[in-house]
Amino acid sequence: MKKVFLITLFLAGLFIDLSAQRNTPLDLAKEIFGEDRVYGIDRYTYGEYKGKPNGTHLAKGVVKQFELLNQNELTAVVVMNLTDSTGKFLIDAYLHFRYDDYWKMEAFRTLAGTGVYYEFLDQVEGLNDSQLDSLVTEANLNKSEQDKITIDDIYFDIDNSKLILSSDEVLKRYFQENKSSFMMIRDSVVSGFGSNSYSVDKTRDISDQYRKDLTKLRISSLTIGGYLCETCMFFVIGGNEGNSVGYLYVKSQTDIPIMSPSEFIMIKDLGDGWYLFKTT
């Protein structure tokens, strides 16, 4: 009986090992964030990820869609899109994986610091022009002329906040609908600053030179270069304290920033050298 018990344990362990080896990052993402609890989840974790959050923490009725964004020999990123039962967008999460004998989940990331944008929209959406004018008047009290805001600034912030909170799919569609305007700015930057390399030491903010066009696109800032990508143009929609979302253009694919849990948590190819990105 003892031998039978030992053989059973051996076969169970062998099955778990073989099962782990068969898992792809996409398979593992679906398993970890499925409705059922994953027993022995510690076997599938690496680094900071300790098994939470997982599928048992998601509300019932949440619809999940998974997409393998990138995979190489050592790392992979899977996007998990969450919507409610009515199809309303909730969040895009980025699941980072590491290959260590077999695939393991390393980190769970989303665009952080978005609460302020939800709060802003809750306060101003639905206000009529008269109410917005009153809001502007109150905000401009005791401000110098150069610091005063206009109702157009409020409208910009509303549209910009909505973009920041949008799903990756909506942001992709927004870029495609406005691609010609983005390309026009890109061509102007190339004409004025070149296209090979900017500055690796410091990101250069050139927003003021393109403010009118950026405002039309609801883009907060335009920067070039920096240690993360010295040949990149960053069209930043918005964000705060390192948590940002936007579009980047890079001439050579070899210069595309690397995705990781600590810098670019997501980079999605939009074609022709353009990418959607999020940082943390």
pLDDT number for residue 25:
98
How much is the pLDDT for 79? 99
Determine the pLDDT at residue 218: 98
Query: CA-to-CA distance for 133 and 112, rounded, in angstroms?
Result: 31
Residue 153 CB partners (closer than 8 Å, separation 6+): 136
The whole-angstrom separation of Cα 260 and Cα 191 is 32
Compute the distance between CA of residue 33 and CA of residue 27 in angstroms, rounded to an integer. 10
> What span, in angstroms and rounded, lies between the C-alpha atoms of 233 and 248?
5
The reported pTM is 0.89
Q: What is the pLDDT of residues 148-183, one digit of tens each?
A: 999 999 999 999 999 999 999 999 999 999 999 999
CB contact at 8 A, 91 and 118: no
Query: Cis peptide leading into 25, omega within 30 of 0?
Result: no
Phi, psi of 185 (to 5 degrees): -65, -45
Q: Which residues pair with 71 in a beta bridge?
A: 76
Which residues of the chain fall short of a pLDDT of 70? 1-22, 197
State the pLDDT at residue 160. Answer: 98
Measured CA to CA, the distance from residue 46 to residue 253 in angstroms comes to 29
CA distance 138 to 98: 52
Give the pLDDT score at 21. 46
Map out the domains of the chain with their CATH numbers: 2-109 (3.10.450), 115-164 (no CATH), 168-280 (no CATH)
CA dist 162 and 117 (Å) reads 8
Confirm if 221 and 237 have CB atoms less than 8 A apart: no
Please report the pLDDT score of residue 201 as a whole number: 72
Q: 68, 266 in Cβ contact below 8 A?
A: no
- Return d(Cα 243, Cα 110) in angstroms, integer: 9
Gap between the Cα atoms of 76 and 233, Å rounded = 25
C-beta separation of 233 from 251 below 8 A = no
Distance CA 7, CA 269 (A): 49
